[in-house]
Amino acid sequence: MDMLSTKLDFIVQLLWEAGISNWVISPGSRNAPLVASFIKHGKFQLISSPDERSGAFMALGMSQINQYPAGFICTSGSALVNTFPAVVEAYYQRIPLLILSADRPEELIDQWDGQTLRQPGIFGNYVRSNLHCSPRNESTEQIAKGIYDCLKEAFVNIPSATHLNIALSEPIYEGIDAPFAFSDAIPPFVFKPSQPNKVDLIAVKQFIESSFTKDEFVPDSTLPIDQKLTVEESSESIKYPRIAVLIGQNPPSPLLKSVLIELQHYVPIFADVCSSQTQVGLISWDWGMLKREIPNYLEPELLISVGTATISKPLKQFLKKSKPKHIHIGLYDEVGDPFETQPQHWKVNESDFLQAVLEIISTFDTSADETENSNWVEDSLIPTFQKSNNSNSIKKYLTDWEVYIQSQSLVSHDLPHPFASELQFMQKLFQSVQENCIIHLGNSMSVRYGSWSGQTKAQVYSNRGVSGIDGCLSTAVGAAIASPEKHHVVVLGDVSTIYDSNALWTDLPSNLTIVVFNNGGGRIFDWIEGPNKLQELRTFIHTPRHFEMEYLCKLYSVKHFKYSINQLDEILNGILENSDKLQEKSDHSHPNLDEQSSPKTVRFFELISE
Ligand SMILES: Cc1ncc(C[n+]2csc(CCOP(=O)(O)OP(=O)(O)O)c2C)c(N)n1
């Protein structure tokens, strides 16, 4: 009979072979034997976080940045319940995450034993799989199959968190100091998203057309892939020329980016601040639409969306009102309906689909140019709408949007205090950072400022799955640990910072810079019309308080800087100094950088709005 530690080593080796190498660990006695196996294995990156809520969000940040699951380990009882916010965030952001909890044996649950509760299946339908495992009573084959199936279910289809609950019966420390028992029976394996269907142009054309007729579209698998459309066929598919593309929250995709870079010359692209595509499409569109009427001629007839939600309220309201035909492209079955447009879903790769749309549109565009310059194109091939009314052309719709956004939009000074200066800071940050920077935005005004700040070379993240303020700092800490080659800047309000301040209770990575708008409470409630109409609400909703951030920084040995938010250049120089150092390090392996890397060099910029 194997010792308990041998079984735990088996589980841990299996997780290593699955490529899950980044782990955050919270303390406890029941999980200590498991943690011992991770340490003895010797190859994992293990981070300590005494607070489970924060630790689970750190693991989420690691998964988010790597686009591959990271893990979190905790002990039994309420320790596990504290991971729930990160689990639901993972669910709605579609991030793979592994929660590994230690448990007492089943016979002790509900028997008034300490630190026990009903752990198996605790996350309900916010995880796509879970496994309860009692290593002493199961063979290694049973354990391997259980874990493999559980991980596959959670990570291969729609990514989410998954929960492995490991019940440990006494003596739980048996073999804890024995060497790691490596097994040669476990082959390496990785989880990859299922392969998308191939797209062919004719099918795309039929699909776009079917969205106008409400006919059920069944892709014809007999059609040859890569078949080119004729000019005539192309023009038919775009007889409704007001086509808009929305990129909702989405993980980075260089392939999608390369398609959008071309497509942006033909159609208006609305790229959400968390779409990972902030360098393409209409510039500052959310800002341009803010507090303004949007004329009817800008209403799209066809909306093509990829990714998930968008933060833009004006866009949501506009699309709810204009009710375009809506096609949603994505590999995952669960499709939301944020604009009440009943999107028609096509389960294909988004880059392939948009590439096909691009080819259809650009074929038409070439024909239009040729029509003007030569007379060899047959008259029958020129689309009717183009001949009769040039204002209907696809590019005209793009230009109309560009003109609208550029004309008479607000200037940041028009906003009331403190929003004007905070927004100016964010706009400057967005403009100043380079590709080696990652910006994490808190879930209050910060992410809105980001959405109003236009394009940036940095990758931008925010926990917009359920938009909680509870793990924004922790997620950024986890992401910074998992991608040390990038400079991470997290921008938060004061309430969000204090709420999640246990994120600082770990070995902080020096490639992280924290920026806090210390503006005396939840100022978003001054922005939203409603809460500010009744003064008495302030105590409970705005929660106004003045925090001396200096003391928080002292507590966690973080380097503190305090600025008036109007000292924009000084602040920016300070923040970017860190990314310059990282750049130098990657360019020349800067010899003195290790001095900078002590945990104490994490920098915290407290910005005061006067
Ligand atoms: C866990 C959680 N509790 C409550 C809320 C509601 N909420 C949204 S924003 C906010 C205030 C955030 O204030 P702060 O971080 O100071 O940012 P500011 O509003 O000043 O931009 C609150 C309490 C939430 N999103 N998440």
Q: pLDDT digit string (tens) for 423-452?
A: 999 999 999 999 999 999 999 999 999 999
The answer to whether residue 322 scores a pLDDT higher than 50 is: yes
How much of the chain exceeds pLDDT 70, in percent?
A: 85
Quick: pLDDT tens for 102-157.
999 989 899 988 899 999 999 999 999 999 999 999 999 999 999 999 999 998 88
Ligand 1 binding pocket mutation candidate from 444, 451, 537 (most atoms within 8 A of CB) = 444
Residue among 92, 451, 469, 475 to mutate when testing ligand 1 (max atoms within 8 A of CB): 469
Cβ of 526 less than 6 Å from ligand 1: no
Pair of tokens at residue 354: 């948009």
Instruction: pLDDT band for 582, please (50, 70, 90 cuts).
Output: low
pLDDT confidence bin for 215, thresholds 50/70/90: low
Same domain, 232 and 317: yes
Tokens 């007492």 label which residue?
Answer: 104
Distance from Cα 484 to the centre of ligand 1, integer Å: 29
Q: Is residue 172 part of a domain?
A: no
Amino acid at 56: A
Atom 14 of ligand 1, residue of closest alpha carbon? 493
Q: Among residues 71, 70, 24, 32, which one has the least CA distance to residue 51?
A: 24
Distance (angstroms) between ligand 1 centre and the Cα of 481 equals 25
Strand partners, 71: 23, 98
Last residue of a domain, one of 374, 406, 438: 406
pLDDT at 599: 43
Q: Are residues 239 and 368 in the same domain?
A: yes
Which of 371, 406, 441 marks a domain boundary?
406
Q: Give me the residues paired with residue 564 across strands.
A: 608
Q: What is the pLDDT of residue 173?
A: 93
CA 495 to ligand 1 center in whole angstroms: 6
Strands (E), 55-137: 70-74, 97-103, 127-133
- Cα(445) to centroid(ligand 1), Å: 9
Residue 569 shares a structural domain with residue 422: yes
Per-residue pLDDT at 198 = 74
Residues 433 and 550 in one domain: yes
- Kindly state if the Cβ of 547 falls inside 6 Å of ligand 1: no
CATH code of the domain in which 386 resides:
3.40.50.1220
Query: Residue 387: is its pLDDT beyond 70?
Result: no
Return the residue matching tokens 């100094």. 577
Q: What is the pLDDT of residue 210?
A: 66
Task: Say if 83 falls within a structural domain.
Answer: yes
**What local confidence, expressed as pLDDT, does residue 192 receive?**
73
Alpha-carbon distance of 73 to 52, in angstroms, equals 9
CB of residue 523 inside a 6 A radius of ligand 1: yes
391 & 417 share domain: no
Question: What residue type is 111 in one-letter code?
Answer: Q
Going by alpha carbons, the residue nearest to atom 13 of ligand 1 is 522
The average pLDDT across 392-401 equals 84
CATH number at residue 482: 3.40.50.970
Residue where the block lists tokens 């879903």: 345
Please report how many Cα atoms fall inside a 13 Å half-sphere around the Cα of residue 463, on the Cβ side: 33
How far does the centroid of ligand 1 lie from the alpha carbon of residue 494, in Å? 9
Are 411 and 482 in contact by the 8 Å Cβ rule? The answer is no
**How much is the average pLDDT of 207-223?**
57
**Ligand 1 close to Cβ of residue 493 (< 6 A):** yes
Q: Minimum mean pLDDT among 91-100, 455-464, 587-596: which range? A: 587-596
Q: Is residue 330 part of a domain?
A: yes
- What is the reported pLDDT for 223? 44
The 10s digit of each residue's pLDDT in 453-472 is 989 999 999 999 999 999 99
Identify the weakest region by mean pLDDT among 299-313, 345-359, 584-598: 584-598
Residue 357 counted as domain residue: yes
**Domain finish residue from 167, 184, 217:** 167
Same domain flag for 599 and 542: yes
For a ligand 1 pocket test, name from 448, 466, 467, 524 the mutation site with the most ligand atoms within 8 angstroms of its C-beta: 524
In a domain, 422, yes or no: yes
Whole-angstrom distance, CA of residue 263 vs CA of residue 356: 10
Q: Domain check: are 270 and 138 in the same one?
A: no
Q: Which atom of ligand 1 is nearest to the CA of 497?
A: 15
Nearest to 26 by CA among 86, 89, 67: 86
Q: At 421, is the pLDDT very low, low, confident or very high (cuts 50, 70, 90)?
A: very high
Model confidence pTM above 0.85: yes
**223 and 308 share one domain:** yes
Residues 6+ apart with CB under 8 A from 451: 272, 273, 286, 287, 311, 312
pLDDT of residue 532: 82
pLDDT at site 587: 53
Q: What is the pLDDT of residue 195?
A: 67
- What pLDDT is stored for residue 238 in this prediction? 55
For the chain, first and last CA: distance in Å?
Answer: 70
Tell whether 175 is covered by a domain: no
Range of the domain at 427: 412-608
DSSP string of 431-474, one letter each residue: HH--TTEEEEE-TTHHHHHHHTS---SSEEEE-TTT--SSSHHH
Residues 75 and 136 placed together within one structural domain of the fold: yes
Q: Do residues 421 and 318 share a domain?
A: no
Rounded average pLDDT over 564-586: 82
d(CA 467, ligand 1 centre) in Å: 9
Distance 489 CA to ligand 1 centre (A): 19
Q: Give SS3 for 476.
A: helix
Is 119 part of any domain? yes
Count of alpha carbons within 13 angstroms of residue 579, beta-carbon side: 20
- How far away, in angstroms, is 473 Cα from ligand 1 center? 13
- Please give the structure tokens belonging to residue 179: 């060497």
How many angstroms is it from 496 CA to the middle of ligand 1?
A: 6
Phi, psi at residue 493, to the nearest 5°?
A: -85, 170
Structural domains counted in the chain: 3
Structure confidence at residue 382 (pLDDT): 36
Residues 54-71 have a mean pLDDT of 97
Find all residues with CB under 8 Å of 468, minimum gap 6, and list them: 85, 89, 443
Q: Read off the DSSP letter of residue 197.
A: B
The arrangement of strands across the sheet holding 559-564 comes to: 459-462, 437-441, 487-493, 512-517, 603-608, 559-564
Looking at residue 8, its amino acid is L
Is 35 within 8 Å of 25 (Cβ atoms)? yes
Q: What is the pLDDT of residue 384?
A: 34
Residue 191, in any domain of the structure: no
Same domain, residue pair 378 and 428: no
Whole-angstrom CA distances from 122 to 91, 149, 475 are 14, 19, 22
Model confidence pLDDT, tens digit, residues 504-547? 999 999 999 999 999 999 999 999 988 888 889 999 999 999 99
- The lowest-confidence range among 241-245, 411-415, 531-535, 592-596 is 592-596
For residue 607, how far is its CA from the centre of ligand 1 (angstroms)?
Answer: 17
**527 CA: nearest ligand 1 atom:** 19
Task: Report which ligand 1 atom has the smallest distance to the Cα of 442.
Answer: 15
Which amino acid does the sequence have at 243?
Answer: I
At residue 8, does pLDDT exceed 50?
yes
- The per-residue pLDDT of the chain, averaged, comes to 87
Q: Is 454 in the pocket of ligand 1 (CB under 6 A)?
A: no
Contact between 505 and 49 (Cβ < 8 Å):
yes
pLDDT band, very low/low/confident/very high, at 235 (cuts 50, 70, 90): low
Cα–Cα distance, 79 to 115 (Å, whole number): 9
Same domain, 75 and 25: yes
Q: Which residue has the higher pLDDT, 188 or 236?
A: 188
Report the distance separating Cα 388 and Cα 378, nearest Å. Answer: 16
- Between 578 and 270, the more confident residue is 270
